[in-house]
């Protein structure tokens, strides 16, 4: 059985997929998002080396509870696809237990997405930072194209997707870019939900502790008016939206 690096495991989570969930945070991420609230997950080997058995022990503690709540397991990070073999083994074990599975991913590591991972995942939470390639690279330090290809693969396989979009004033709030994103997503019949996640400052302390160059110290959360405008853009394309 494969070992992997896990940052932490949280129970009773209600924001990373339907129902009440156990969230497994993997260590390791190829992105360096300016607003990341988990920069402590970036380096894989800074996580705890963990066996599948140890993960299953944690899952079994809450399996009945999460199933009764119509919840499940969400694998987040970091970036889960940094450790595809470890990821797949956990997914398969969850399916043996008839537990709903979700992956929270940037979609960047398309080379690590395979048929077995797709088959054993019930829901993909895809973080689409921007539909403008220049803005996307400014935010993440990587290219947008792989994520769009990732979404196309999920569409071809008709796997349910929730899009997660972080709204940051003067960074991701260009309304034309958001309109283009909404029109692109409208072409995909497997997009069940768009989650607008207003920028917040709760992760700032981690950047300070890690002595990282945080560029958004002076940035404030978006106004209610801006959030409303962005919500209306997606709703105009007849998409279900959650804020």
Domain around 28: 4-165+190-197
The per-residue pLDDT of the chain, averaged, comes to 96
Whole-structure pTM value: 0.96
Confidence of residue 201 (pLDDT cuts 50, 70, 90): confident
Q: Is residue 11 part of a domain?
A: yes
CB of 30 within 8 A of CB of 81?
Answer: no
Task: Calculate the CA 122 to chain-centre distance.
Answer: 14
Tens of pLDDT along 139-176?
Answer: 999 999 999 999 999 999 999 999 999 999 999 999 99
Q: Is residue 20 part of a domain?
A: yes
Rounded Cα gap, residues 150 and 235, in angstroms: 23
Average pLDDT over residues 87-92: 98
Q: Is residue 210 part of a domain?
A: no
Q: Is residue 243 part of a domain?
A: no
Rounded Cα gap, residues 78 and 145, in angstroms: 20
Q: Is residue 28 part of a domain?
A: yes
Tens of pLDDT along 1-55?
Answer: 689 999 999 999 999 999 999 999 999 999 999 999 999 999 999 999 999 999 9
Tens of pLDDT along 208-235?
Answer: 999 999 999 889 999 999 999 999 999 9
Tens of pLDDT along 110-141?
Answer: 999 999 999 999 999 999 999 999 999 999 99
User: What's the CATH code of the domain at 84?
Assistant: 3.20.20.70
Q: Is residue 29 part of a domain?
A: yes
Strands 191-198, 4-13: pairing is unpaired
Number of domains in the chain: 1
Q: Is residue 222 part of a domain?
A: no
pLDDT at 171: 97
Q: Is residue 66 part of a domain?
A: yes
Q: With CA atoms as reference, report the closest residue to 174 among 238, 235, 230.
A: 230
Angle between helices 175-186 and 224-236 (to 10 degrees): 30
pLDDT at 202: 82
pLDDT at 1: 67
For residue 87, how many C-alpha atoms fall within 13 Å in the half-sphere facing its CB?
30
């Amino acid at each position: 059985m494969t070992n992997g690096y896990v940052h932490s495991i949280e129970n009773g989570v209600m924001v990373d997929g339907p129902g009440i969930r156990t969230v497994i945070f993997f260590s390791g991420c190829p992105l360096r998002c300016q607003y990341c609230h988990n920069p402590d997950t970036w380096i894989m080997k800074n996580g705890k080396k963990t066996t599948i058995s140890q993960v299953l022990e944690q899952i079994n503690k809450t399996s009945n509870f999460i199933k009764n709540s119509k919840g499940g397991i969400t694998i987040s990070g970091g970036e889960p696809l940094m450790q595809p073999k470890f990821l797949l083994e956990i997914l398969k074990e969850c399916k043996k237990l008839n537990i709903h599975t979700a992956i929270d991913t940037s979609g960047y590591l398309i080379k690590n997405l395979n048929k077995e991972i797709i088959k054993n995942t019930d829901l993909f939470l895809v973080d689409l930072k921007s539909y403008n390639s220049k803005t996307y690279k400014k935010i993440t330090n990587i290219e947008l194209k792989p994520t769009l290809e990732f979404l196309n693969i999920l569409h071809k396989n008709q796997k349910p997707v929730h899009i997660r979009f972080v709204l940051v004033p003067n960074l991701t709030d260009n309304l034309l870019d958001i309109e283009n994103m909404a029109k692109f997503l409208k072409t995909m019949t497997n997009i069940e939900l768009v989650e607008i996640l207003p920028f917040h400052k709760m992760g700032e302390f981690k950047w300070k502790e890690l002595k990282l160059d945080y560029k958004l110290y002076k940035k404030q959360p978006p106004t209610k008016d801006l959030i409303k405008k962005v919500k209306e853009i997606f709703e105009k394309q007849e998409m279900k939206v959650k804020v």
